[in-house]
Structure 1
Amino acid sequence: MKKTVLTIVGILSFAAVDAQVSFGKIQNQIPRSKEGLNVFDVQKNDVPYEGISVDLGGALALQFQGLNSFNDQREGTYTAPNGALISGNAGTGGYRLNNLQNNFNLPAANLVFGAQLADGVRVNLDIYLSSRHHNETWVKGGYLQIDKLDFIKKDFLAGIMKYTTIKVGQMENNYGDSHFRRTDNGNALLNPFIEANIMDSFETEMGMEIYYNREGLVSMIGITNGKLNQGVAEFVASDPTTSAPDPNTTVSPTILAKLGYDKQLNEDLRIRITGSYNHNANMSANPWGSDRAGSRYFGVMSHQAYTYNATPVANNFDPTANASTGRFSPGYANWYTAFMINPFVKYRGLEFFGTLEFTSGGDKKGTDESRSVDQYAADLIYRFGDAEKFFVGARYNIVSGELASQTQKVNVDRFEASAGWFMTKNIVAKLAYTNQNYSDYSQTSGNSLNDLYGGSFEGIMFEAAISF
Structure 2
Amino acid sequence: MKKLLFTLIAALFMSSLVFAQIRPYDKRGVNVFENPKVDTLKFNGIKLKVGGAFTQSWQSLQETNTAAPKLVSGVDQNKLVALSPGFNTANANLFLDTQLEDGVYLNLTMYLSSRHHNETWVKGGFIQFDKLPFLHSAFFDNIMKYATLKVGHMEINYGDAHFRRSDNGNSIYNPFIENYIMDGFATEIGAEVDVQHNGFIGVFGVTNGEIKGDVAKVAPVAGAGDGKHHPSFLGKIGFDKQLSETVRLRITGSGYYTAGAVSNTLYGGDRGGSHYFSVIENAISTSTAFSGRFNPGFTNKISSLMGNVFLKAGGFEWFTTV
User: When the two structures are superposed, what TM-score results if normalisation uses the length of structure 2?
Assistant: 0.90
Percent of aligned pairs sharing the same letter: 44
**Is 2:293 the partner of 1:327?**
yes
**Is 2:115 the partner of 1:136?**
no
1:237 partner amino acid: A
**Is 2:29 the partner of 1:36?**
yes
Which of 269, 294, 309 pairs up with 2:273? 294
Which of 62, 67, 80 pairs up with 1:68? 62
Change (3 A) 1:296 1:160: same
**Is 2:52 the partner of 1:52?**
no
Which of 230, 233, 254 pairs up with 1:252? 230
SS of the residue aligned with 2:60?
strand
Change (3 A) 1:150 1:69: same
Q: Following the alignment from structure 2 to structure 1, what is the Cα–Cα distance between the partners of residues 159 and 206?
A: 15
Contact 1:268 1:348 in 2 (8 A): yes
Return the offset for 1:160: 1.1
Q: Following the alignment from structure 1 to structure 2, what is the Cα–Cα distance between the partners of residues 252 and 103?
A: 45
Contact 2:18 2:24 in 1 (8 A): no
* Structure 2 unmatched runs, 5+: none
SS of the residue aligned with 2:162?
helix
**Is 2:163 the partner of 1:169?**
no
Which of 241, 246, 252 pairs up with 1:268? 246
Return the offset for 1:334: 2.3
Map 1:280-291 → 2, pairs under 5 A? 280-283=258-261, 284-291=263-270
Q: Following the alignment from structure 2 to structure 1, what is the Cα–Cα distance between the partners of residues 129 and 73?
A: 60
Corresponding position of 1:396: none
Corresponding position of 2:310: 344
Return the offset for 1:94: 9.1
The Cα offsets for residues 266-286 of structure 1, whole Å up to 9 and x where unpaired, read as 101111100000111112222
Return the offset for 1:95: 5.6
SS of the residue aligned with 1:141?
strand
Map 1:202-217 → 2, pairs under 5 A? 202-217=185-200
Contact 1:280 1:335 in 2 (8 A): yes
Contact 2:233 2:257 in 1 (8 A): yes
1:55 partner amino acid: K
Map 1:146-185 → 2, pairs under 5 A? 146-153=129-136, 155=138, 157-185=140-168
Contact 2:15 2:51 in 1 (8 A): no
Return the offset for 1:158: 1.6
Corresponding position of 1:191: 174
Q: Following the alignment from structure 2 to structure 1, what is the Cα–Cα distance between the partners of residues 77 and 41?
A: 63
Contact 1:176 1:275 in 2 (8 A): yes
Return the offset for 1:27: 3.7
Runs of 4+ in 1 over 3 A off after TM superposition: 86-89, 92-95
Return the offset for 1:69: 2.2
Q: Following the alignment from structure 1 to structure 2, what is the Cα–Cα distance between the partners of residues 22 and 186?
A: 17
Q: Following the alignment from structure 1 to structure 2, what is the Cα–Cα distance between the partners of residues 213 and 50?
A: 26
Map 1:452-467 → 2, pairs under 5 A? none
1:73 partner amino acid: A
Contact 1:25 1:53 in 2 (8 A): no
Return the offset for 1:239: 5.2
Return the offset for 1:256: 0.6
Taking only aligned residues, the RMSD between alpha carbons, in angstroms, comes to 2.4
Q: How many equivalent pairs are there?
A: 312
SS of the residue aligned with 2:142?
helix
Change (3 A) 1:237 1:269: same
Corresponding position of 1:107: 90
Q: Following the alignment from structure 1 to structure 2, what is the Cα–Cα distance between the partners of residues 196 and 272?
A: 20
* Structure 1 unmatched runs, 5+: 1-9, 81-85, 304-315, 357-468
Contact 2:221 2:227 in 1 (8 A): no
Q: Following the alignment from structure 1 to structure 2, what is the Cα–Cα distance between the partners of residues 88 and 224?
A: 42
The Cα offsets for residues 364-414 of structure 1, whole Å up to 9 and x where unpaired, read as xxxxxxxxxxxxxxxxxxxxxxxxxxxxxxxxxxxxxxxxxxxxxxxxxxx
Change (3 A) 1:56 1:156: farther
Corresponding position of 1:83: none
Return the offset for 1:24: 2.1
**Is 2:284 the partner of 1:317?**
yes
1:267 partner amino acid: E
Contact 1:26 1:54 in 2 (8 A): no
The Cα offsets for residues 338-375 of structure 1, whole Å up to 9 and x where unpaired, read as 1111001111111100000xxxxxxxxxxxxxxxxxxx
Return the offset for 1:33: 1.2
Q: Following the alignment from structure 1 to structure 2, what is the Cα–Cα distance between the partners of residues 154 and 337?
A: 38
Contact 1:222 1:256 in 2 (8 A): yes
1:236 partner amino acid: V
The Cα offsets for residues 83-139 of structure 1, whole Å up to 9 and x where unpaired, read as xxx4894xx799621101211111000000111000010100000000000110010
The Cα offsets for residues 205-256 of structure 1, whole Å up to 9 and x where unpaired, read as 0100001100010111000011212133x2221455xxx3x74220211111
2:166 partner amino acid: T
1:335 partner amino acid: K
| Structure with larger Rg | 1
Q: Name the structure where strand makes up a greater proportion of residues.
A: 1
